[in-house]
Chains A and B, each alone.
Chain A
Amino acid sequence: MAEYALKLTGIEKTYGTTIKTKVLHGIDVSFKRHSFNAIIGQSGSGKSTLMNIMGTLDLPTSGVLEILGTKTTDMNKKQLAVLRNETIGFIFQHHYLLPEFTALENILMPAKIKHGRITQADRAYALELIEFVGLTQVKDNPANQMSGGQQQRTAIARALINKPEIILADEPTGALDSESTDKVYQLLRDINTTYQTTFLVITHDRKVAEKADRIIELKDGRIELDVVTKSS
């Protein structure tokens, strides 16, 4: 098994065709498996772009991305979709649940995409995750009839359902109050310890970032700072 969950070599990203805006300037960075990493930076520093590229939601203009030792450069859209489904869990700032489905159905959706149906094991695991994130009471509520914190915890459980190796979280607490923020971060750390999942969390909150094993600061599309706070 590869040592690194993610390895980026010379990643560049330019937007626009006539007026070109270079957002990322040759990013070289690797993230060890099972580590908990924070990416910080001001808005416009390129951190969301980097995150989208790491999650194969966006393609780099140049450079190589390896996920668990596999180069994504030569993969087609379908292979990328399967890769995302099986190895990456996303947590977005605005929780992004499907409002037409209940909390439990939302959590099971990646499993359903993976297997085409819900297995007994999937269901059992989903219930375990719901318990873990404390949503047992509201699991059958429609997604849009829950509080912001509940929706974000649903999104976290959904990110975990296929037991992904990597979780990418873009400002996961950006829309939450400070109490919920602490709860969610504690939850992410617990998941990191319990399920050995690699975390990459984008945040603008330094207090949050300081709880990570490693902090990377981006400025103007370059890595400004790379600090390991805890050896893992």
Chain B
Amino acid sequence: MLSLKIAARFLFSSKLQTLLIMLGIGVGVSVQVFIGSLIGGLQNDLIDSTIGSQSHITIRSQMRDERLSVSPSFLSEVEDISSEIRAVSSVLEGPGTIDNDVGDSIFIRGFEFERANDIYRFDEALISGDIPEHDGVLIGKDLAEMLAVEIGEQVRIVLPQQGFDTFTFEISGIFDLGVASVNETWFVMRLETAQTLFDTNQVSAVEMQVNDVFATTEIAERLMEAYPDLRHTEWQASNQELLSGLEGQSISSLMIQVFVMISLVLGIASVLAITVLQKSRQLGILKAMGITDFKASTIFLAQGFILGVFGALIGVGLGLFLNVAFTQFAVNPDGTPVVSLQIDPAFVMLSALVAITASLLASIIPAKRSAKLSIIEVIRNG
């Protein structure tokens, strides 16, 4: 307590210097908080736009092209395997071509829309039209452009697997799922429609989404325990670039933060080293009065602590302000922020703690110097 009081007095006696160091720490912490939240938000946006409308784990039959028989209760059974599983939906899929001169390839997918919407959000992705209630189909905006068709018009397709029979569907909606290959090839219909089309009552796969996209492996293992006859694929298998991109971003963000912290430590250490010189007279007096070397050194640790705490508070305030300002000023033409920032209280706390620890670390050298300071030198030169 004595050290803390003396430290506080020392800091208070040179207000400008103290304020400058605190601001220095504050700016460092605010950069930390801002960059961290920015990268966090950026990654979330990226994950969301890339795999937000994809299956995270897909289970299929071990045999290629063999379909699964799915009882009505199966999907809820899968859902119960882990509370992390957010959505489960079955799909029946198969290849086809448009019956035109070019013979554009399409990928026919039959869904139960009530369930599939939890994964693909067709309801939000529709640009025009509605989810089909009967035998209509949804096509992507790119396919619609290629075929120059609109809602209500008919499209004829050929199924190579069904003896090149042709079938005609009415377009009930056009969607934009944000991925060109999907927008160009998907030919989406109700599961029942697809089952009639392919003349089956089975499905091709069961798709699901989970809450934490980086926890798929563990969930997949549990699925495989429950259904050893099935095989699974995780989203990572088809998204290697995304993964390495995310990793690169995380590393660069970490690097920035580490260097900010290093410069912070150096700054605090050098300023505190100077204060040891400034206060050497006072330290000499205190030591003559019987303060132990250890106590004397804790004065500087306490200074580091006080500077760290107040610097961190300033930094968190400034960082949050920057975040808010960023979402206010860096906006898309439609008014939504360019990057939706994600402020994670745990991360903000961590940044503050790191700054306090860094300040304490930085005060170790001056603390050691103060312990070594000889009284006699101060008194002789005083």
Q: How many residues of A contact B (CB 8 A)?
A: 30
Whether A112 lies near B290 (C-beta < 8 A) is no
**Please, what's the 1-or-0 string for B207-226, where 1 marks a CB less than 8 Å from any CB in chain A?**
00000000000000000000
Whether A81 lies near B2 (C-beta < 8 A) is no
Q: Which of these binds chain A: B192-200, B231-239, B280-288, B318-326?
A: B280-288
How far does the alpha carbon of A48 sit from the alpha carbon of B382 in the complex, in Å?
A: 13
Whether A84 lies near B294 (C-beta < 8 A) is no
Q: Quick one: which of A82, A98, A114 has the most chain B CB within 10 A?
A: A98
**Please, what's the 1-or-0 string for B264-297, where 1 marks a CB less than 8 Å from any CB in chain A?**
0000000000000000011011111111111100
A50 to chain B, nearest CB (A): 13
How far does the alpha carbon of A113 sit from the alpha carbon of B292 in the complex, in Å?
A: 9
How far does the alpha carbon of A129 sit from the alpha carbon of B380 in the complex, in Å?
A: 28
How far does the alpha carbon of A110 sit from the alpha carbon of B290 in the complex, in Å?
A: 7
Question: Which residue of B1, B281, B295 contacts A117 across the interface (Cβ within 8 Å)?
Answer: B1
Question: Which residue of B284, B290, B380 contacts A114 across the interface (Cβ within 8 Å)?
Answer: B290
* Main secondary structure on B side of the interface with A: helix
Chain A residues lying within 8 Å of B285, measured Cβ to Cβ, are 96-98
Whether B289 lies near A90 (C-beta < 8 A) is yes
Question: Which residue of A48, A52, A85, A96 contacts B290 across the interface (Cβ within 8 Å)?
Answer: A85
How far does the alpha carbon of A86 sit from the alpha carbon of B6 in the complex, in Å?
A: 20
Whether B2 lies near A116 (C-beta < 8 A) is yes
Cβ of A109 < 8 Å from any Cβ of B? yes
How far does the alpha carbon of A99 sit from the alpha carbon of B288 in the complex, in Å?
A: 16
Question: Which residue of A78, A86, A117 contacts B294 across the interface (Cβ within 8 Å)?
Answer: A78
Q: How many residues of B contact A (CB 8 A)?
A: 26
Asked, given contacts A100-B10, A100-B12, A116-B2, whether A82 binds B376 with beta carbons under 8 Å apart, the answer is: no
How far does the alpha carbon of A112 sit from the alpha carbon of B6 in the complex, in Å?
A: 11
Asked, given contacts A78-B294, A96-B382, whether A113 binds B286 with beta carbons under 8 Å apart, the answer is: yes
How far does the alpha carbon of A97 sit from the alpha carbon of B379 in the complex, in Å?
A: 12
Asked, given contacts A92-B382, A94-B382, A98-B282, whether A113 binds B376 with beta carbons under 8 Å apart, the answer is: no
Chain B residues lying within 8 Å of A110, measured Cβ to Cβ, are 289-290
Whether A78 lies near B290 (C-beta < 8 A) is no
Asked, given contacts A92-B382, A96-B382, A116-B1, whether A57 binds B288 with beta carbons under 8 Å apart, the answer is: yes
Chain B residue nearest in CB terms to A111: B289
3 A-B pairs with least C-beta separation: A85-B290, A100-B9, A100-B13
Interface residues of A (CB under 8 A from B): 48, 52, 55, 57-58, 77-78, 81-86, 90, 92, 94, 96-101, 109-110, 112-114, 116-117, 158
